Structure 1
Amino acid sequence: MTTFSVIVTALDAQGYLRECLDSALGLPAEGVEVIAVDNGSTDATRAIVDEYAERDERVHAVHLPKPLTNGAARAVAAKQAKGDYLLFIDGRDCLTDGALAALGRRIAETGEPDAVVFDHVRSHWWNDAIASGDGRLFIAPGREVFSVYQQPETLHLTPTLSNRVLRADFYEAHCELFDKDEYAEVLPAIGSLLAADRIAILDKVCLRRREPETPVRERGQFNLFDQYDALWELLGSRSVLPEHRAIVFSGMIRRYLKVLTVPGLDEREQAAFFHRASEHFLRYKPNDYQRPSNLNGVRHAMLERDSYSGYRALQSANRKRRTVRTLAVKAKRKAADLAKESAYREQLRHPLEEDLAVFSAYWDRGVACSPAAISAKLAELAPNIRQVWVVRRADVPLVPAGVDYVVPGSRRYWSVMARAKYLVNNVNFPDSVTKRPGQIHVQTHHGTPLKRMGTDQIPFPATSRGVDYEALLERCARWDYSVSANSHSTETWERAYPVPFTSLDYGYPRNDVYYTATAEDVLRIRERLGIAPGRKALLYAPTHRDYEAHWTPRLDLERMARNLGEDFVLLVRGHYFYDRGLSPLEELHRRGLIIDVSRYDSVEELGLASDALITDYSSVMFDYANLDRPIVVFADDWETYSVTRGVYFDLTELSPGAVGRSQEEVERLFLDGGWRDEHATAKRAEFRRKFCDFDDGHAAERVVRHVFLGQANVPPVIPLEERTPAPAPEVAARLVADNAR
């Protein structure tokens, strides 16, 4: 049996790494080893690597103290490889079912060639299987073993190492080709084909290769010149045809011209790169070179003449044509919008105010959630930073005294949005907001995802139809930091929002109060809500359904209140998406059957005041689990919800407590004690271990110290077993009574 060493290099790949590692472990133990290289990653990626290494003896963890180039990281792992063949993939890539077995069969039938090249698909958030374009190149070689000197067209294959396996001793004999790919994999990809005497083709898609989703500033582009120098030296040492040189040359120039369009290159860097590219053009131009007849031919001419000014003029003319078209579209906007944009553009000319922070929550609904917790901690640790909240006009009366605020669309709103150094939100700011260089955007999110989010919603048209995902990702691309409450969220946010950001695995600041509140705080909130001493307060907080325009409680609340009796009281909170019009709860509240807390500002205080939570699929369950109090899941429409909305796991299996599939079952749980029996307690403990990783009462402090104070060392997360949540109401009453004696 052919044995494989699959070398996985992972740099902050937590959103995809599990799928990648699972796909690589597709052969029996004696057939494969996986060397997972944590390339100086975040804690989330490192934890996944260690988890797999501990769970499966075929996985070997390699931790690098700081990020290396892909080639250098691969070289470290290759020294430990014991397989007959090496396969190099990125932690965001994924092997297809049966890929390794098919490669093993192909290696056996071709007599152990130096390399086997296979097909792949490219994966983006909008399409998981875009053809590589390499398929046509697999036709001519057929089933025979060959070299590129017999099949020059093979040099057109996508230049990546992840679309081939290499015999281990071949890799070792040509190791100088594989560790110099700082910017792209040109030298190892093309060089390995040129160095191989025996190549085999496997006309099968064996890999889903995930490509960067957004243009980012790429560094190390000058390394390309060293790679091509080495390639041309390798070509000079081999008996090659003019056709080989023409293919390598055309690919080289195409790649150089692409680098010149990368966003973020300043004028000096672009000019220097252009002049170096011109040198290579003249040095390596084949004797039979013919300039392309299209617009690229003009660009070739500029390189051949080393005319950077001509190239710039050509690019400027193209931009002007695009600008004219863009302006024609913009001209259709309303005059009022244009006036606002004009005022905003004027503000954008002013320098940033380093001591100004803007906060918003829930589409400007007021001072709430994690932004509010960060705001409070910021006032404590950095009072020199001025804070302004964005609050829609309807909610201005609810703004706490002393809080500075602006109304969206006002003149001062545009001023603070343009000048603030820091912008903090638990949703995205509007499209009209421009991310300026130097501004820092903090995305706190407002829940742990059970339901599919972002681009993960695409396969569920019932809820994603009409969503402009490109616009969504443009908004998300403004994030500098994404605050995460648990490892599940960290992995999900990276996959669902494939844009560059740094994950802050610090916990949700809004949940700090679940560990800092005192017994007196708990009783004071209950008194404010009108909960009589001794009654069990059940917080019922369902989520919304995307397929429901108006909310009708799925529980018959009047019946439930009567059946549970005086020992219990229902605190009912409708979802904020349904905050307009008459509430179906008002009549029940007026009659004293429930307490309607839909408009109560702080969900966290409602959690502190309650003895248990009843919810369906709301993310409030993940937060409430920090309190280590009973949770009952009412899942009467789980099959419908999970199929139409899409979910990340089966809540009926991995639940935070008892599950009721009907109103009768929910009522029986409370009447018979099932809501807090041993089984429910064990389920809650398992749920807390998985989803309460980071919340320990110090999340806001960690965010403030890292983002606003620039401190690299923040307080470490306290282990789950060492945390003490706020006391439950029954315990709080006893503690207060004891202290009063």
Structure 2
Amino acid sequence: MPEEQQDTTAGPPVLSVVVYGRDVQGHLAAGLDALAAQASPGVEVIVAAVGASARAAASDRPGVTVVPLPEGTADAAARVAGGERAGGRWLHFVHSKDTVPTGAPRTVGDRVADLGEGVDVLVVDHVRSTWRHQGMPSPDSKHLARQGRRDLPLADCPDLLRVTPLLGNRVLRADFWREHAEHLAGDDETYAAYAALLLADRIAALDQVALNVRELRTESLPTGRPEERFGVIDRHESLLTLAANLGLPPAPRTALYDVMVGDCLRIIAREKLPDAVRKEFFHRASRAAVAWRPEGYQRPGGLEGVRRRILEEDAYTKYRTFQTANQQRRKLRSAVVARKHKVGLKVRDLRYRRDLERPVDPGLAVFTAYWDRGVACNPAAIAAKLAELAPHIHPVWVVTAANVPLLPPGTDHIVPGTPRYWEVMARAKYLVNNVNFPNAIVKRPDAIHVQTHHGTPLKRMGLDQLDYPAASKGLNFHSLLSRVDKWTYSVSANSHSTRMWERAYPSRYESLDYGYPRNDVFYSATATDIRAIRDRLGIAPGKRAILYAPTHRDYEAAWTPRLDLATLAERLGEDTVLLVRGHYFYGGATSPLAGLRKSGRIIDVSSYDPVEDLSLAADALITDYSSIMFDYANLDRPIVIYADDWETYAKTRGVYFDLMTEAPGKVARTQEELTEIFASGAWRDEEAATVRKVFRERFCEYDDGRAAERVVRRVFLGESEESLPPVTPIDERTPAPTPEEATTR
């Protein structure tokens, strides 16, 4: 073809965006959704995916090249693997937890395409996001704007050393990165970020956002030894040594020195370090501040200058006195507020604190469920298995005074707020709950808190509710996180839940991928058990029972059935019984079904517990967005989704996946469609069975009938993970018989 008609996009891409690392707290997939859509002939996306979860998150995305790496691969090694696979002339390294804003790859690609041959680094702007705030601006824009479109040697733009030291806000020329791999490809990303500027011949800037840095909660990250903070000083001294060896002029070396002293003073003032470590850090920082002080260096004025002078004098005691004086007013103000709070709680607090000083009782376990409603859910299943495997541990249930009469005979219990309540809560070794304990409950270092949860999440939970005020309704997220930080273990039924819990509730707890104990009964119940349950419910032999269990709507004040139940019962025929269960949030309301019970074809089971009995008794389930669908799927019986308000629910509550395309069975959007699904037999046809199989494989991953045993052996008996009963593959499990099968056995 003529030269002017040749494809100008041929050849290597201009920019390679290299996403690397494991799928931290489940954030990778969302970031890749946006990034993959921006891939083009000039911009390629490489994902150096560490582990199966990251590979799954990165798979099946057009325009994305996946470099699979084994579990445990370090971030530095993942960056190297991704960089080696990249074909772009420029490399933009992005950690898997971070994201690239829409339009940024094209903007960066256009900018680097215009840069001259001598430019090695493009510094870009970024925003920060936390669990609470999204897209907060960085402090770097003034430095980037000052440089404008010029590309300069570091000697002429030393203030770029004051830009946040992230490898992700430095776009590197690929040949430059490979040439200086000794400094740029190591484990210390902060060192690499500084070294890239020191080593570059020329540097360009772009005062546009090209990176969204997700700052994870410190409490969700592994703890390190306090002495590791000495490495900050070592890093800065190594960088100053590199600058000296490169023969850099005074301006960048002075800027680098300023950064070092500022970092050290921030650590001394703000980080929680043992006093001995803080004192040693101060001494080492003092030596470095004196040894590397540039000739003719002038300290800043004001309090900062005073701090730096004291540091150079190595006067630790003087520094602490200076800091104490500055903080005294704030402390006094805080003390007044704290004193008022303590007066109001004095009597209770003194008693509770006294009990907290007594030894923990290794034979005492506290159980509670659904805000102290009674013996139920996963805690109940764990308590039952505990009585079998560890009878030496005494269980005590927390129950509200109103629910005490409903307890099984002989159940040892405590009522919230009573003297014995505080004594037991203070001394128990084990505390098991399917929600959170109150804020006032102290997590003792040698106590074990087990969070069992009470469902698989379809709707957004925890921190993921921040963008859905109708769902959070003024929830104090700081208090929520302080409760989450008390968890020792988090029980999960499937890897989807594990990822969502780790994202919605980021902290240092250990996930127990054992299945939900409450679902064990779906594999242990016999035909005799099922017949007995149906007899108790009043379901006549030979009748088809359909359980209708809708969930709570955050935008509704009270529960009203979304179906005309009388008409539905009539259309389904005399051989069908509807078991109707309102969500427990409305347990105190007058049931709107009272007038329908007389027909005998509708049974109000809103107050019936346990709900697992209802599932065992039902031939099929109708629900909307309730987590009961995930539990019921263990039985491998038909499920029909009635989703007349899906769009409203999804926008108001927020959801983790599109139920309309990933449902466990047929989906009806109107009552007429629902009726037709049952009338035509589609509720249990081959297509319904096929999608149910996919759903079971995804969400019944660990539920095999031995979840409670695994929890008891691991948590209460201290057995190793390797010695626990392995999870039975789903195609080798045998669920409880159906009601139809139960009548013939």
Fold similarity call, TM over 0.5: yes
2:174 is equivalent to residue 162 of structure 1:
no
Alignment of 1:173-322 (within 5 A): 173-178=179-184, 181-182=187-188, 185-215=189-219, 217-219=223-225, 220-260=228-268, 265-316=273-324, 321-322=329-330
**1:437 maps to which residue?**
445
Deviation at 1:179, TM superposition (A): 5.1
| Residue correspondences, number | 725
What are the residue-to-residue correspondences of 1:129-148 with 2, within 5 Å?
Answer: 129-148=135-154
Write the distance in 2 (CA, Å) between the matches of 1:444 and 1:10.
Answer: 29
Stretch deviating more after TM superposition (524-533 or 681-690): 681-690
1:160 is displaced (CA, Å) by 0.9
Task: Name the SS of the counterpart of 2:134 in structure 1.
Answer: strand
| Cα deviations by residue, 1:502-535 (Å, 9 ceiling, x for unpaired) | 3322222211221222222222211222211111
| 8 Å CA contact 1:186, 1:228 repeated in 2 | no
Q: Give 1:79 shift.
A: 5.4
What CA distance in whole angstroms lies between the structure 2 residues aligned with 1:479 and 1:432? 14
More divergent stretch after superposition (254-263 vs 453-462)? 254-263
Give the Cα–Cα distance (whole angstroms) in 1 for the partners of residues 395 and 316 of structure 2: 47
Seen in structure 2, the aligned counterparts of structure 1 residues 22 and 59 have a Cα distance that, compared at 3 Å, is farther
| Residue 497 (structure 2) aligned to one of 489, 493, 511 | 489
Q: State which of 538, 544, 551 in structure 1 corresponds to 2:552.
A: 544
SS at match of 1:666: helix
Give the deviation of 1:346 after TM superposition: 2.2
**Alpha-carbon distance in structure 1 between the residues aligned to 2:434 and 2:356:** 24
Q: Corresponding residue for 1:120?
A: 126
Shift of 1:536: 0.9
Aligned partners of 1:373 and 1:700 also within 8 Å: yes
Partner of 1:733: 743
> 2:46 matched to which residue of 1?
34
Separation in structure 2 between the aligned mates of residue 169 and residue 34 of structure 1, nearest angstrom: 17
Distance 1:187 1:599 in 2: 61
CA change 1:467–1:3 in 2 (3 A) is same
Which of 715, 722, 726 is 2:732 aligned to?
A: 722
For residue 607 of structure 1, report the CA deviation from its aligned partner: 0.6
Contact 2:264–2:285 (8 Å) recurs in 1: yes
Q: CA distance change for structure 1 residues 616 and 53 in 2, over 3 Å: closer, same or farther?
A: closer
Aligned with 2:435 (options 408, 420, 427): 427
* Cα pair 2:14 2:113 within 8 Å, conserved: no
CA distance in 2, matches of 1:553, 1:261: 58
Deviations 1:241-296 (A, max 9, x none): 44323322222122223333566532333232222222212222233444444444
Matches of 1:371 and 1:396, distance apart in 2 = 17
Corresponding residue of 1:61:
68
Which residue type is aligned with residue 201 of structure 2?
D
Match of 1:680 in 2: 688
Q: Map of 1:623-662 to 2, 5 A cutoff? A: 623-662=631-670
2:4 is matched with none
Aligned to 2:9: none
Letter in 1 for 2:70: H
- 1:390 is displaced (CA, Å) by 1.4
Residue 566 of structure 1: how far off its partner (Å): 2.3
> Is residue 565 from structure 1 mapped to residue 573 from structure 2 by the alignment?
yes
Once the two structures are TM-superposed, the CA of residue 33 in structure 1 deviates from its matched residue by 5.2
| 8 Å Cα contact 1:523-1:732 kept in structure 2 | yes
CA contact (8 A) 2:80 2:185 kept: yes
Aligned to 2:8: none
Which stretch shifts more, 120-129 or 412-421?
412-421
Pair 1:287–1:488, CA change in 2 (3 A)? same
- Tell me whether 653-662 or 24-33 shows the greater mean CA deviation: 24-33
| 1:712 partner letter | E
Instruction: Report the Cα offset of residue 121 of structure 1.
Output: 0.9
Higher alpha-carbon deviation: 251-260 or 17-26:
17-26
Q: 1:89 aligns with which of 89, 94, 110?
A: 94
Structure 1 segment 376-391 matched on structure 2, within 5 A: 376-391=384-399
After TM superposition, give the deviation of residue 188 of structure 1 in Å: 0.9
Cα deviation, residue 73, structure 1? 5.0
Deviates more, 1:579-588 or 1:524-533: 579-588
Cα–Cα, structure 1 residues 513 and 324, in superposed 2: closer, same or farther, change >3 Å?
Answer: farther
Task: Find out whether 1:526 has 2:534 as its counterpart.
Answer: yes
What secondary structure does 2:383 align onto?
helix
3-state SS in 1 of match to 2:151: coil
Shift of 1:591: 5.3
Q: Secondary structure at the match of 1:356?
A: strand
Contact 1:476 1:499 in 2 (8 A): yes
**Structure 2: how far apart are the matches of 1:315 and 1:481?**
39
1-side partners of 2:386 and 2:363: how far apart?
12
Check conservation: 2:25, 2:506, Cα contact below 8 A: no
1:27 Cα deviation after fit: 2.2
Q: Distance in 1 between matches of 2:596 and 2:424?
A: 43
Q: Does the Cα contact within 8 Å between 1:454 and 1:497 map onto a contact in 2?
A: yes
**Aligned counterpart, 1:2:** 13
Residue matched to 1:108 = 113
Tell me the secondary structure at the aligned position of residue 439 of structure 2.
coil
Q: Within 5 Å, which residues of 2 pair with 1:451-462? A: 451-462=459-470
Q: For residues 1-43 of structure 1, what are the alpha-carbon distances to aligned partners after superposition, in whole Å with 9 as ceiling and x for unaligned?
A: 43555443434514101123444544248853524242xxxxx
Counterpart of 1:609 in structure 2 is 617
Report the CA distance between 1:196 and its aligned residue: 0.5
Alpha-carbon distance between aligned partners in 2 of 1:230 and 1:13, rounded to the nearest angstrom: 30
Q: What amino acid maps onto 1:731 in structure 2? A: E
- Deviation of 1:334 after TM superposition, in Å, equals 8.8
Q: Percent identity?
A: 51
Partner letter of residue 442 of structure 1? V
Contact kept in structure 2, 1:8 and 1:91, CA below 8 Å: yes
Which structure 1 residue ranges, 5 or more long, are not aligned?
39-44, 737-741
What residue identity is the alignment partner of 2:655? V
Decide whether the 8 Å contact of 1:144 with 1:200 is kept in 2: yes
Does the CA contact (< 8 Å) of 2:551 and 2:626 recur in 1? Answer: yes
Measured at CA, do residues 294 and 421 of structure 1 come closer, stay the same or move farther in structure 2, by a change above 3 Å? farther
The CA deviation at 1:332 is 4.6
2:405 alignment partner AA: P
Taking the aligned partners of 1:607 and 1:137, their CA distance within structure 2 comes to 63
The worse-fitting range, judged by mean Cα deviation, of 698-707 and 125-134 is 698-707
- Structure 1 180/455 Cα, relative in aligned 2: closer, same or farther at 3 Å? same
Cα 1:318–1:387 shift into 2, 3 Å: farther
- Worse-superposed segment, 76-85 or 632-641: 76-85
- The aligned counterpart of 2:721 is 712
Q: Distance in 2 between matches of 1:314 and 1:716?
A: 59
C-alpha contact 1:361 1:371 (8 A) present in aligned 2? yes
Shift in alpha-carbon separation, 1:166–1:628, aligned structure 2, 3 A: same
Correspondence for 1:464: 472
Alpha-carbon distance between aligned partners in 2 of 1:234 and 1:309, rounded to the nearest angstrom: 33
Q: Please tell me whether the aligned partners of residues 33 and 83 of structure 1 are also in contact (alpha carbons under 8 angstroms).
A: no
Aligned CA distance change for structure 1 residues 88 and 421 (closer, same or farther; 3 Å):
farther
Q: Secondary structure at the match of 2:124?
A: strand
Which range is displaced more, 381-390 or 584-593?
584-593
SS of equivalent to 2:217: coil
Offset of residue 298 of structure 1: 4.3
**Deviation by residue 1:407-442 (Cα, 9 ceiling, x = unmatched):** 111222222322333322111111112223233322
Q: TM-score, normalised by structure 1?
A: 0.91
- 1:449 maps to 457
- Among 665, 676, 686, the alignment partner of 1:668 is 676
Shift of the 415–312 alpha-carbon distance from structure 1 to 2, 3 Å rule, reads: farther
Q: Is this contact kept in 1: 2:15–2:42, CA < 8 A?
A: no
> Cα offset for 1:231?
0.5
